[in-house]
Amino acid sequence: MSVATATLSSKYQISIPKDIREAMNFKPGEQLAFLRVGKSLRLVRVRKMEDFIGMTKGANTDDYRDRSTRREDNLPVPTAAQKVAMQKRFAKKHAQDKS
């Protein structure tokens, strides 16, 4: 882990120390994001969408899960009696909330 310090200016700006800039290969105009992690900050490079093009080229899709296998799509459909019971519970709860 490399440690370097920077001073916050009166305009709340910092300069990234040269050794860190070079090690991270930061370029002028490049966007960086500040992530709060507990009581500390993490500085990360913001990647452009173009950087992701071709990222999964040649990926094996044999184990790809189709949308229809998602849990919310496979929940059981309530019966008419279950729907009535849910409506009654909902109405009772909201009647109590109003009083």
Mean local confidence (pLDDT), 26-42: 92
- β strands within 1-72, DSSP E: 32-37, 40-45
Higher-pLDDT residue of 95 and 39 is 39
- Residue 28 maps to a domain: yes
Chain CA centroid to CA 13, Å: 26
- Residue 93 maps to a domain: no
- Residue 29 maps to a domain: yes
- Residue 12 maps to a domain: no
- Counted domains in the chain: 1
- Residue 23 maps to a domain: yes
* Domain extent for 37: 18-50
pLDDT above 80 (res 68): no
- Residue 25 maps to a domain: yes
- Residue 13 maps to a domain: no
Task: Calculate the average pLDDT of the chain.
Answer: 83
